[in-house]
Chains A and B, each alone.
Chain A
Amino acid sequence: MLWVDKYRPKTLDQITVHEDVAQNLKKLVTEQDCPHLLFYGPPGAGKKTLIMALLRQMFGNSAEKVKVENRTWKVDAGSRSIDIELTTLASANHIEMSPSDAGFQDRYVVQEIIKEMAKNRPIDTKGKKGFKVLLLNEVDKLSREAQHSLRRTMEKYSAYCRLILCCNSSSRVIEAIRSRCLNVRINAPNEEQIVRALDFISKKEDLQLPSGFAARIAEKSNRNLRRAILSLETCRVQQYPFSSKQTIPPMDWEEYISEIASDIMKEQSPKRLFQVRGKLYELLINCIPPEIILKRLLYELLKKLDAELKLEVCHWAAYYEHRMRLGQKAIFHLEAFVAKFMSVYKAFLIATFG
């Protein structure tokens, strides 16, 4: 078992990183009235941990007792009927799923399946657990249509069903849904908090953690707590006792992107662009989301750039990322960005060095 999972806080009280949020949530739940919730924040910030702890707070231990169900739903969509396969995690009081797994058919998931689930009142209505919870992951990946069909469900069955939505960015969740929810922003933990978490773990594991080393891990982790803890464990496996000069193994894909970046900086030509294309394809093949690639690539390029170019390059990166989200073939836009960068950079080089 990885430390990430082992030392994951289980209750709201144990949560250290977002303590204030946790306390507020606790108050909210103990008052027996829980609105719909929308958690959003970057990956590795602790959304899921919070949600789990919250569920536990609501339903006690039974929230932990979950059952995986992979089920095919038959949905009547007008003239034909569609089979949708969906995996759900269900306990007695809550159901968890990622409707965006259904791809472009997510609308039917929301319209039929979620509605049906929301309709069913939990059996033991006597007493406190008067409602059940639907936990929807990756709401920002839902199509617009699906999000719109979610609106009505949220209102109609609010008497006995609460929705907890979880996503990375609230900007891709439509306004109507955001206004129906209590928005909880979970920001990425800052480096101090990460260091504290690392310290906590190493104490539990009986490790001697040099303070500088923890800071380095925190810095490299990009404010991603999950990554920080994983790095710590990796370092532990690689070499123990720690030395503060120890190398922290990098993420392989990030390493690869930085290779690409140095390729780009070395030569700007269509030939080189072709090579870069091959490498970008490699990244995409390995399921790395194109947005992340673009972001990381920009980051790596910025490290090597002159200050006066940074603004322009950032502008173009944003421009192409926008296009990428609108379009379908990410490689076109990634490549266009690289080409644009090459063009800008080469013009700059010519202007500077003649």
Chain B
Amino acid sequence: MDMDMDMDIPLPEELDLLESNARLLEDYPDPEAPEPYPYEDQEAPPAAQPPSSPDLQFDSEIQVIGQKRSRSVSPNGSLSETAELSEEKRCRTDESARATDEDWLRYSPPKGNESVVVEQGSFVREKMLSRYASEIDGECMPITAPNGDRVYARLDRLEGEERMKKLDVRANSDGLILEPINILFEKMDQEAFTKTLEASSKCQNVPDIPETPIVHEQLWVDKYTPNSFTELLSDEHTNRQVLLWLKQWDSSVFGSEICSTSDEVLSSLKRHSTVVQNQKPLDSKFQRTIGGPKWSNHRYRNSKSMDESGSSKSFQDILTRKVKHTGPPEQKILLLCGPPGLGKTTLAHVAARHCGYHVVEVNASDDRSTSTIESKILNVVEMNSIMSDSRPQCLVMDEIDGALSDGKGAVEVLLKMVSVEKKSDAGKENLVKERSGRRSSKKGHKKASLSRPVICICNDLYAPALRPLRQVAKVHIFVQPTVSRVVSRLKYICTREGMKVNAIALTALAEYTECDIRSCLNTLQFLNKKKEAVNVFDIGSQVVGRKDMSKNVLDIWKEVFQRKKAKAERKSHNSKPFEVNSLYSLVSSRGDYDLILDGIHENILQLNYHDPVMQKTVKCLNSLGVSDLLHQYIMRTQQNPLLVYLPPTAITVHQLVAQIQKPNIEWPRSYQRHRTMMAEKMDILNTWHYKIPPYIARNLSASSFVEDLISPLLYILSPPTIKPVALQLLSDKEKNDLAQLVSTMVSYSVTYKNMKSDMVPNSLRHEVADHLTLSFDPPICEFINFKDYTSNHYVLAPAVKQILVHEVEKQKILQVSIDRPLGNGSSSERPEFIEAGTSNAQSSKINHADAISVKNIQNESNVTKGRKNNANATIVSQNSHPRKGTADNMKLQNTGRMRMPSSGSFFDRFRKLNNKGFRSDDRTEQKEATLDKALHPLLFKFNEGFTNAVKRPVRIREFLL
């Protein structure tokens, strides 16, 4: 509406000024592209000259004003159109009239108006015009058709007078903004029509009705698309930024001649980028860059430029100081992003046209494979050199985030071009300064670089395909236009369409659609079709469809935790139920309840709500608990219809704890973290469980591990009494303890491990003890490693750990060698090994029974002793339960005895290393040892395992076969 005001108010007092403007406007030649309008030079003087009185001039002027809203840019020579239109009432040229008719149909002037015009065009076509001025009696004026034909039209005096009267009416009605303009126009034209009927001798009463509905059918969205920069609804700042960016291209695209003005514009744009709309910078350059002059705006612009000229003087000093800006802007790509319906595409088109570009649009419906895009961009870039007459092109890549694979191709091409540009920039810094040189140099390049502005449009800035583009492009994020702005525009359109709405309803509509102008207009048109007056209830109710908005989860949590300000709440009249509804639809349209509830749970305690007795907290947590139960129930029984009862949890929480201040939302990580870590630990437990021999493990469940076992085990495994001294120095009792400890470690398959290195635990044996961090191998320590908890477990000295590792390894190896022949009878795949093992066992038995002492090799005996001991231990523990007591005692005895020779010395460690790889060398050693033994015939009883199965005397050589 304010736009109307702007245009209407100056009318009466600036009439003469306007007149001169009109002439000036028509006089103005387009320096860039004069070709399409070859007749304007001939045309303009007559238009001003004809022997008509000033009132006629006014007349045409008014006409111009009246229709400016409805006209859009005509693609063909618009100045000629201007001329035609300004004289539409008087001149009936066959061709031109038809042409104009068509134009009108296409460009939809207000409804009543144009139907009349059509009729006029069709019926009054006699004697009104002629090839020669002499054939017309009375006043006449020349008209040139687009094809160059020149005719003279008779001027109707009566009509002109009639118009004079109406001009007065109009001038009076200026203040009444709410009065529908088109109704006035309609009346006016109706009167003019009747007058003309009377005046003309013949009349054809065949109005062209059938064509009108087509015009009606046009979507309002298209019909009222902003055609000029000033009509844009989007955020002013963004608009200006975009314009500024486009302007920066001027110097490189249009050449140096406009540089000075461009500078001025740029500076003023920068200056005024936050100032209100009316201060739009305008100067002569604008006229040039406007490719198709939108005639509806000309007067306005010119008048504005008059105003501006004064203020622009103030920039003179800036101008003089300013270094000439040459070359395209830093970032060669502009990326516009924002939710749908805010007018991104419109802005791109309008701004590009405004700056004198021809818009080439590539959208999701086009083929956007790499090759196609490349050729398209090349076309855009090269166009100027081929067709010098046409305006430079500007590429608008719409919906670039839409199709992933294709969009990616497009993005890749763009990136490639940008990078080429950068390289060439670096290489030819000097050439860039000089534009002509640059152009020629570019021809030399194999790869095309970006020399025309490219505007990319997307909805989701953070689409993965756009990631690389984000870094090189200048990004503008669209914000919602203010409601009042949208409403005023809507109101204007409604008035235009003769629809009765009140501002409140429009406000509600705008809020409802979140300022999506497109959906607002569609809704309005729909309601208009139903011939219903729009009221608030309509919009609130289901009559008006609502966009199915699925919001970001973070936004949803924000909505849940943030209460709208009291003011805003009042504004959306029906706060509570409305709030509940919106929250419900918000949550349910998002779907992912599990995540949403997790997020609520995660963040709820961080909120700053007043809750003295924790009532609210309890309620919230209870409702979360209920939702968990419900969720579990749904999952188990697959009763998916019950899912609708999950979102109310969010509503409850919102009602209870929502605060006005902005919540600090965190992504719910802790629950997932707890899940994964628990799974990890469970894994550790399970593997540990499997490693423990079954006769112990079977008595434990995973939970009893953590509940009962681990804490005591940690104490038991690190007794403070053990001294870090060489084993030889230990007393018998201490050795006994050590032996017991080792057997415990072995039976629970716990060992120490160097945590820093990833090598096998055994390998650390020969490393120096000092800088090793030995910790338990199944990391059982971690099970009591709670946050903020210090356990008072004693940690053994590294040296002791070392000894333990060593001992445990030894034990394990021995056990393996024993277990093989005993445990599984299926291990016959290695007969030699069994043999060795058995002989070992035998030898241990020998030792045990004190039947004989094999002393051939000192080392060998050491090993065998160790073996024996362990063998004994395992055999006893596993198999000879009835004789448990004695066996145990014996074992203990043996352990005590065994430690003496086998442990402590460094040499011994070395031997253990041998042991480790004992599959090979130790076995051979073993063999030779047994061979030695075989020299003395031995007799012994072989109690194989638990069953005492073998009871016959066996000779050792029988095993050696």
Contact = CB atoms under 8 A, between A and B. Distances in A.
Nearest to B741: A237
Contact of A285 (B606, B677, B704): B677
A66 B695 contact: yes
Nearest to B785: A286
A287 B792 CA distance: 21
A285 B674 contact: yes
B613 A43 contact: no
A268 B605 CA distance: 12
A253 B707 CA distance: 8
Contact of A6 (B618, B712, B888): B888
Contact of B783 (A49, A204, A250, A286): A286
A287 B681 contact: yes
Interface string B777-794: 000001111111101100
Q: What is the interface of chain B mostly: helix, strand, loop, or mixed? A: helix
Contact of B881 (A10, A62, A98, A287): A10
A75 B336 CA distance: 55
B784 A48 contact: no
A302 interface: no
Interface in B660-709: 670-671, 673-674, 677-678, 681-682, 685, 690, 694-696, 698-699, 701-709
B641 interface: no
Contact of B786 (A204, A256, A289): A256
A269 B884 CA distance: 58
Interface string A51-68: 010000000011011111
B617 A343 contact: yes
A343 B615 contact: yes
Contact of B628 (A138, A286, A332): A332
Contacts of B707: 43, 251, 253, 288-289, 292
B625 A332 contact: yes
A346 interface: yes
Contacts of A65: 879, 945-946
Nearest to B623: A336
Contacts of B592: none
B211 to A, nearest CB: 63
Given A253-B711, A287-B702, A342-B614, A332 B881 contact: no
Interface residues of A, number: 82
B96 interface: no
Nearest to A347: B613
Contacts of B222: none
B747 A1 contact: yes
Interface string A142-174: 000000000000000000000000000000000
Contact of B625 (A233, A234, A333): A333
Given A89-B698, A234-B716, A323-B629, A277 B605 contact: yes
A287 B783 contact: yes
A255 B618 contact: no
Nearest to B684: A287
Contacts of B784: 252-253, 286
A17 interface: no
Interface in B757-810: 782-789, 791-792
A200 to B, nearest CB: 12
Interface stretch (A27-35, A120-128, A223-231): A223-231
A274 B789 CA distance: 17
Contact of A284 (B629, B674, B888): B674
Contacts of B605: 270-271, 273-274, 277
Given A68-B690, A336-B624, A44 B719 contact: no
A281 to B, nearest CB: 5
A166 B787 CA distance: 35
A327 B628 contact: yes
A26 to B, nearest CB: 16
B815 to A, nearest CB: 12
Contacts of B740: 1
B711 A48 contact: no
Contact of B791 (A6, A44, A252): A252
Given A227-B708, A286-B681, A287-B706, A328 B606 contact: no
B868 interface: no
B470 interface: no
A340 B621 CA distance: 9
A10 B633 CA distance: 45
A94 to B, nearest CB: 11
A327 B630 CA distance: 8
A6 to B, nearest CB: 7
B621 A332 contact: yes
B606 to A, nearest CB: 7
A194 B784 CA distance: 26
Given A49-B699, A273-B617, A231 B685 contact: no
A112 interface: no
Given A249-B715, A327-B632, A328-B632, A268 B708 contact: no
Contact of A44 (B704, B787, B877, B884): B704
B260 interface: no
B541 interface: no
B788 A279 contact: yes
A137 interface: yes
Contact of A2 (B624, B721, B744): B744
A337 to B, nearest CB: 9
Contacts of A212: none
B631 A1 contact: no
Interface in B840-896: 877-879, 881-882, 884-885, 888
Nearest to B693: A68
B743 interface: yes
A335 B620 CA distance: 11
Given A10-B882, A285-B678, A336-B625, A68 B694 contact: yes
B690 A87 contact: yes
A43 B704 contact: yes
Contact of A336 (B618, B789, B791, B823): B618
A331 interface: yes
Interface string A116-134: 0000000000000000000
B894 to A, nearest CB: 14
Nearest to B794: A238
B696 A5 contact: yes
A273 B947 CA distance: 61
A44 to B, nearest CB: 6
Given A281-B674, A329-B671, A288 B706 contact: yes
A335 B618 CA distance: 9
Interface string B14-31: 000000000000000000
Contact of B787 (A62, A204, A278, A340): A278
Contacts of A292: 703, 707
A255 B882 CA distance: 40
A230 B784 CA distance: 16
A3 to B, nearest CB: 9
A282 interface: yes
Contacts of B704: 43-44, 226
A191 interface: no
A132 to B, nearest CB: 17
A257 to B, nearest CB: 10
Interface string B605-645: 11101011111011001101100110111010000000000
9 contacts: A2-B713, A5-B696, A61-B946, A65-B946, A269-B611, A285-B674, A287-B705, A333-B625, A343-B615
Given A66-B695, A230-B716, A286-B678, 14 more contacts: A1-B744, A65-B945, A66-B694, A237-B721, A251-B708, A270-B605, A279-B786, A281-B673, A285-B677, A285-B678, A288-B703, A327-B625, A339-B621, A343-B613
Q: Nearest 4 pairs between A and B by C-beta? A: A230-B712, A252-B784, A343-B614, A336-B621
Interface of A: 1-2, 5-6, 8, 10-11, 43-44, 48-49, 52, 61-62, 64-68, 70, 87, 89, 96, 98, 137-138, 204, 224, 226-227, 230-231, 233-234, 237-238, 240, 249-253, 255-256, 259, 268-271, 273-274, 277-279, 281-289, 292, 320, 323, 326-329, 331-333, 335-336, 339-340, 342-343, 346-347, 350
